[in-house]
A and B are shown apart, each in its own frame.
Chain A
Amino acid sequence: MSASPTLVARTGSFFHRYANPGRFLKLGARLQPWLTWPAIVLTLLGLGWGLFFSPADWQQGDSVRIMYVHVPAAMLASAGYAALAVCAVLSLVWRHPLADLAAVEIGPVGACITALCLATGSLWGKPMWGTWWVWDARLTSVLVLFFLYLGHITLIRAFDDPQRGYRAAAILALAGAVDLPIIKFSVQWWNTLHQPDSITLTGAPTMSSSMLWPLGLSTLGISLGFAALVLARTRAAVMESRIQALLSSPRRNQGNAA
């Protein structure tokens, strides 16, 4: 790798420093407890606070407590797909091997959290709106995101040559990223049954601080949990690929010898 100081080259070399599986495993093992334990503690704290100590909403009553699961799940559903898109760029442009392994592992976790978002949304919609499901822009775009995850999961495993699967899935991840701004702005661009965001970058949150705190805690905790899961799975995947390599090389040697 030449030391030409272009941004592309430098970005590449920065990421390739962690392409070495041994170095990644060592770093990952050290990082893992710092993700896992705060994730567990913060999630339990946030959800416990939300479930038992935060006040009920003036019009929704106790049903508002579903928010403490639903909103973090929704945020991570989008964030997980954004991570897939980043992995796709790293894979397509820099051919980064770890990005491919990470993409394989992000897919199922992201699909699970999207399913959780849809399910809790349904469970919230039935008592409040009066319906399990409507085809409004927000709900439909999140359902599309769920199917994008499912497509990614199957595509990346669909080929005998894993490299082709990585390539195809990366293209899908990038193309599907178009859905992310649609999800985000659907409640502003079109009228929907789903209410607009309570927490925005520009204005004061239209939520009492006694509900905002537990929501922030559970969001932080569940995000760390997502990261911890992806890291653990990617570490396992790196080890598994090493096992594959070890298993195939001596057997070939034996075959040659025999």
Chain B
Amino acid sequence: MTRKTRRLWLVIACVACLGTAAALVLRAFSSDIVFFVTPSQVASSPPPKDRTVKLGGMVVAGSVHRERRGETPVATFDVTDGQAAVSVHYEGILPDLFREGQSVVAIGTANSAHDFTASEVLAKHDETYMPKEVAEALKKSGKWDPRFGPPPSAASWNSMTVQDARKDLAAPAQPQSQPASPAPTGSAP
């Protein structure tokens, strides 16, 4: 019996040591593990011009300019993390999910602290999943504008059904001032 107990403690000790070692290694390399840098990091210490960096942040509402240069579409937009903004130039087709207020990761080089040329743009969607009708109802009720950030707390909408949302969308004619619209069901369970 004692041999088994001793083996158990040995196993526990080994796993604990290994876990600690792994945690320390991950801590030490934490800055290399991050997938992208934020605009404020780029602004405070611009990376060397020849280094490829991944810049992540939210597309600023109203900052997107698309044009065509010959065959290739060219886009310019600002990416922000709330503290600093970097202007990104990109030649190529943007991903389907690209929109104002969407998180994106732009891969390219920084020309200066506020100027970035991307060779690739990835869309980074968030962890909220909702039917189109619910999103429309939230937008219409004035609770959420996707161009300016994440949706309201999940408990206020995750039990709303498509039928509820359709009713909300159909009922009031044009309530741009928000109090007229009926509050979505299940706002406080």
Interface string of A196-225 (1 = CB under 8 A from B): 111000011111111110000000000000
Contact, CB under 8 Å: B1 / A198: no
Contact, CB under 8 Å: B11 / A58: no
Contact, CB under 8 Å: A197 / B158: no
Interface string of B37-65 (1 = CB under 8 A from A): 01000000000000000001000000000
Known: A92-B11, A174-B15. A212 touches B127 (CB 8 A): no
What A residues does B129 contact at CB under 8 A?
Answer: 57, 60, 64, 67, 198, 206-208, 211
Is the C-beta of A241 less than 8 angstroms from some C-beta in chain B? no
What A residues does B126 contact at CB under 8 A?
Answer: 195-196, 206
Is the C-beta of A182 less than 8 angstroms from some C-beta in chain B? yes
Other CB < 8 Å A-B pairs besides A56-B131, A207-B129, 5 of them? A137-B33, A178-B15, A182-B22, A191-B36, A207-B130
Contact, CB under 8 Å: B34 / A208: no
Contact, CB under 8 Å: B18 / A128: no
| Most B CB within 10 A of own CB, among A12, A208, A209, A212 | A208
**Complex interface residues of chain B between 123 and 164 (CB less than 8 A to chain A):** 123-136, 146, 151, 153-155, 157-162
What A residues does B30 contact at CB under 8 A?
Answer: 189-190
What B residues does A209 contact at CB under 8 A?
Answer: 158-159, 161
Chain A's interface: helix, strand, loop or mixed, by majority? loop
B185 to chain A, nearest CB (A): 12
Which single residue of chain A is at the shortest CB-CB distance from B36?
A191
Is the C-beta of B182 less than 8 angstroms from some C-beta in chain A? no
Contact, CB under 8 Å: B8 / A8: yes
Is the C-beta of A231 less than 8 angstroms from some C-beta in chain B? no
Contact, CB under 8 Å: A205 / B158: yes
From B34, B95, B121, B135, contact of A58 by CB (8 A): B135
26 contacts between A and B (CB under 8 A): A2-B1, A55-B131, A55-B133, A58-B134, A58-B136, A59-B102, A93-B11, A128-B123, A129-B125, A130-B96, A130-B123, A131-B120, A134-B122, A174-B14, A174-B15, A174-B18, A178-B19, A178-B22, A190-B30, A193-B105, A204-B154, A205-B158, A206-B126, A206-B128, A208-B157, A211-B131
Contact, CB under 8 Å: B158 / A59: no
Alpha-carbon gap, A135 to B162, bound state (A): 37
B5 to chain A, nearest CB (A): 5
Chain B's interface: helix, strand, loop or mixed, by majority? mixed
From A128, A136, A196, contact of B127 by CB (8 A): A196
Count residues on chain A whose CB falls below 8 Å from chain B CBs.
51
B189 to chain A, nearest CB (A): 8
Which single residue of chain A is at the shortest CB-CB distance from B163?
A210
Interface string of A86-106 (1 = CB under 8 A from B): 000100111000000000000
A122 to chain B, nearest CB (A): 14
Contact, CB under 8 Å: A58 / B124: no
Alpha-carbon gap, A132 to B99, bound state (A): 20
What B residues does A253 contact at CB under 8 A?
Answer: none
What A residues does B146 contact at CB under 8 A?
Answer: 59
Is the C-beta of B4 less than 8 angstroms from some C-beta in chain A? yes
B69 to chain A, nearest CB (A): 21
What A residues does B171 contact at CB under 8 A?
Answer: none
What A residues does B8 contact at CB under 8 A?
Answer: 8, 89, 93
Is the C-beta of A151 less than 8 angstroms from some C-beta in chain B? no
Alpha-carbon gap, A116 to B153, bound state (A): 32
Contact, CB under 8 Å: B128 / A207: yes
Contact, CB under 8 Å: A131 / B131: no
A230 to chain B, nearest CB (A): 23
A186 to chain B, nearest CB (A): 8
What A residues does B56 contact at CB under 8 A?
Answer: 191
Alpha-carbon gap, A175 to B122, bound state (A): 34
From A56, A92, A129, A203, contact of B7 by CB (8 A): A92
Contact, CB under 8 Å: B155 / A204: yes
Contact, CB under 8 Å: B35 / A193: yes
Is the C-beta of A192 less than 8 angstroms from some C-beta in chain B? yes
What B residues does A207 contact at CB under 8 A?
Answer: 128-130, 154, 158
From B14, B35, B97, contact of A60 by CB (8 A): B97
